[in-house]
Amino acid sequence: MAITACQILHANDYGGMNQQLTSALSAGWQPMGYLRITNNDQQDFYQMMYQGTNVDVNAYQSIVDNGQVLPVKNSAGTVTANGTASISQSAINSVSLPDSTAIVTNTQVLSIPVTTGLALTIGTATRKITLTISGGSVTAASIS
């Protein structure tokens, strides 16, 4: 639902504005933006109010809740894991992956124990490597 009505409250003193705000809030109006105070010949108070909801978003925007689970994809667009969003002060500040998932970057050097029952040959060969991940880190690799 979109915003259905707007009004601007105006008063010449704090008490008058407080009374109007209390009345408007009890009638279902919501404040939009900050209370504006001007100091010309006299002090004036202004407050924009609306009814409905102001959470309409554009096609390129989304609403994400704190703790919401989101798919995390690699550059190829493949879903690799689900992460949990962490929101602070109305902004996503991180997405945490589960303990069974690690982020490994190209050319990253890992110092991990490698186990295999096969003798490794010198030269280029294609091998299957199975990674073991614990606590978000690669802890072991097995070559087959």
SS3 20: helix
Q: Are 135 and 99 in contact (CB under 8 A)?
A: yes
**CB 62 within 8 Å of CB 69:** no
Tokens in use for 41? 């010949």
Q: CA of 109: how far to CAs of 2, 104, 106, 138, 144, in Å?
A: 52, 9, 9, 11, 21
Residue whose C-alpha is closest to residue 71's, from 60, 85, 81: 81
Task: For the full predicted model, state whether its pTM sits above 0.75.
Answer: no
Give the three-class secondary structure for 35: strand
Per-residue pLDDT of the chain (144 residues; tens, 9 = 90+): 578 899 999 999 999 999 999 999 999 999 998 999 998 788 899 999 999 876 667 777 788 899 999 999 888 888 789 999 999 988 899 999 999 888 888 778 777 776 655 555 555 566 777 888 888 888 888 877
User: Which amino acid type is present at position 111?
Assistant: S
